[in-house]
Amino acid sequence: MIIKIIYFKPVGGTMNLLFVHGWSVTDQETYGDLPEAVVTAATADGLDINVQHIFLGKYISFHDEVTLDDIARAFDVARKDAMKKVSADENAPFACITHSTGGPVIRLWAHLFYGLKNKMSETPLKHLVMLAPANHGSALAQLGKSKLGRLKAIFSGVEPGTGVLNWLELGSAQQWDLNTAWLNYNFAANGLYSFVLSGQTIDEKIYDFVNSYLVEKGSDGVVRLAGANMNYGYVRLRQNVNNIIGDTGRSFFHEAKSITKLEVVGGSFVNSPKTPFCVVKDASHSGETIGIMRSVTESNYADKPVVGNILKCLKVTDLTAYDTVDDNFKAISKQVQDADTKVKDQYSMLVFRVTDDRGNPVNDFDMLLLAGDDFNPDGLPKGFHEDHQKNIISPNILTYYVNYSELKRVPDGKIGIRIAARPDEGFSHYSIAEFRSTGFAFDDILKPNQTLLVDVELTRHVDENTFGLTPLADGKHNFKKEKTSGKDVPPTD
């Protein structure tokens, strides 16, 4: 693994700047002129630039056996080797500008080598500027692993890179682990300033419109704004089988069944540490025309807002400046989205992971989104649903992509979910569970351009007659037709 590095001197001393590309890249031209443009812009902005060495780099993501974990570990060796060429200290401080999958690569590296070891304050990474990062995955990852994706890979002479695509698929277990761990890292307070810049413009010259994901609103054609944003939420819902809040009603085919409550564990939703997030005007994921990275040249950088915004990030040296950039990015994002005539609404993602109280993944379930005073599917506004996708490897994880602007219209913000898992009868089964937003503000649950991770814990009902003991004096019995008692064994601690 080789890294592209530029050295420059911001206020306070020399900074080493690394560029890390995304998935499936096989050509160093993917960086375009962005590194050179950053140098030129920084010089014009009064920063002391000293280009000593440029390492034209690559990392391997297009071999199926390579995983994101492999790449993150290889990065640690590569950056130490690079630092030793220009510094006596292999752990010299550095800043990193990433594109697409490069963002998760560097975040995973920080997690493995510093977060897990409770040494986040010791990380040499001081600035992480992520351009269109797939932090919460990409809906296209499933297509990359499909037969069509494999055929395209064959004709281009490389493998699809399924090891990396498995991480990038919406709701992957590895992605979930990194993002929930990242909730606990107060990185800015430890001197690591993280930023996300992403667009919501589709480059019509690149995409063929055959696949709806390529022209999805609220995305740059590959990554959704909600999938890039590192401001996100988390909540754990636990089924309370003793709290019955209604029933399904009797139908021609089924008897009425009780609906029990999903309660918020801890009583509140958890928000991630703040990460300044900027919606970049007229920026698509890739391409030489409006690609957020590839389209930048030394001659047009003044017309590319991404360059100026990168400099704002790199100049941050304390929490006050970090907060200032955050406020500035919020104002820019609002202005860009308000002025967008093609994308008039904002969108959000909900990622549900369903397990039971024994830690088993629950793979077979139906989920309904609810709204209105009676928390009914019919109460949902027209056009609220954009997409949903179950993870192929972990089918207990389901991602919904929803129109935040439409859902915001629900009276009093009353929304909820109902989960009916299978088996729903027998000696071991699950009962219907429902979450209702009563007591929570709408914006506590759902935010525009953001993702909410929802852990759902269902109770696994085990009937008492699953195991029995009878006296030998009573004789031997055939229990092939044993029936359920209707009573559950008590939960274990």
Report the 3 state secondary structure along 252-312.
CCCCCCEEEEEEEHHHCCEECCCCCEEEECCCECCCCCCECCCCCCCCCHHHCHHHHHHHH
Residue 395 vs residue 86, higher pLDDT: 395
Residue 426: its pLDDT value, please?
A: 93
Q: Report the distance separating Cα 455 and Cα 460, nearest Å.
A: 16
- Under a CB-based contact definition with an 8 Å cutoff, are residues 455 and 177 in contact? no
CB 393 within 8 A of CB 173: yes
DSSP class of 419: E
Window from 8-12, 213-217, 433-437 with minimum mean pLDDT: 8-12
Mean pLDDT, rounded, for 202-231: 86
> Rounded distance, CA 3 to CA 102, Å?
11
Predicted local confidence at residue 83, as pLDDT: 84
Flag the least confident range among 29-33, 140-144, 145-149, 441-445: 145-149
The reported pLDDT for the residue numbered 254 is: 62
Q: What pLDDT, in 10s, does the model give residues 239-252?
A: 999 999 988 765 54
* Over residues 333-360, mean pLDDT: 97
Report which of residues 49 and 271 the model is more confident about: 271
Instruction: Report the alpha-carbon distance of residue 215 to residue 222 in Å, rounded.
Output: 9
pLDDT at 298: 84
User: Rounded distance, CA 428 to CA 430, Å?
Assistant: 7
Look at residue 81 in the predicted model and tell me its pLDDT.
86
Question: Amino acid identity of 185?
Answer: Y
Q: Are 72 and 105 in contact (CB under 8 A)?
A: yes
* Whether pLDDT at 467 is above 60: yes
* pLDDT for residue 403 is more than 80: yes
Phi, psi of 231 (to 5 degrees): -90, 115
Statement: residue 328 has pLDDT above 80: yes
Average pLDDT over residues 322-328: 98
Condensed to tens digits (0 to 9), the pLDDT of residues 169-186 reads 999 999 999 999 999 999
| Averaged pLDDT of the chain | 86
Q: What is the pLDDT of residues 352-375, one digit of tens each?
A: 999 999 999 999 999 999 999 999
Q: Helices marked H in 206-260 — which ranges?
A: 225-228
Are the C-beta atoms of residues 441 and 466 closer than 8 Å to each other?
A: no
Q: Tell me the pairing of strands 365-371 and 270-271.
A: unpaired
Higher-confidence residue: 244 or 26? Answer: 244
The DSSP output letter for 68 is H
Distances (CA, A) of 404 to 88, 217, 384: 51, 12, 7
Q: What is the mean pLDDT of residues 45-52?
A: 54
Question: pLDDT, tens digit, for every residue of 427-451?
Answer: 999 999 999 999 999 998 999 999 9
Query: What is the structure's pLDDT at 43?
Result: 76
Instruction: Please state, as a whole number, how many other Cβ atoms lie within 10 Å of the Cβ of residue 52.
Output: 12
Q: What is the pLDDT of residues 405-430, one digit of tens each?
A: 999 999 999 999 999 999 999 999 99
Distance CA 181, CA 111 (A): 8
Rounded Cα distance between 42 and 315, Å, is: 10
Is residue 107 within 8 A of residue 135, CB to CB? The reply is yes
What pLDDT does 213 receive?
83
Strands 232-247 and 258-264: antiparallel
Burial class (CB in 10 A: 0-12, 13-18, 19+), 252: exposed
Give the pLDDT confidence score for residue 151 in this predicted structure: 36
Tell me what pLDDT residue 474 has: 86
Question: Percentage of the chain surpassing pLDDT 70?
Answer: 85
C-alpha gyration radius of the chain: 25
Confidence band for 63, pLDDT divided at 50, 70 and 90 = low
Asked if pLDDT for residue 144 goes beyond 80, the answer is no
Of residues 461 and 9, more confidence is placed in 461
Q: What is the pLDDT of residues 79-124, one digit of tens each?
A: 898 888 777 888 988 889 999 999 999 999 999 999 999 999 999 9
Please provide residue 97's backbone torsions phi and psi, each rounded to the nearest 5 degrees.
-110, 120
pLDDT at 263: 97
* pLDDT at residue 28, as a whole number: 58
Question: From CA 282, how far away is CA 336, in angstroms rounded?
Answer: 9
Q: Name the pTM for this structure.
A: 0.91
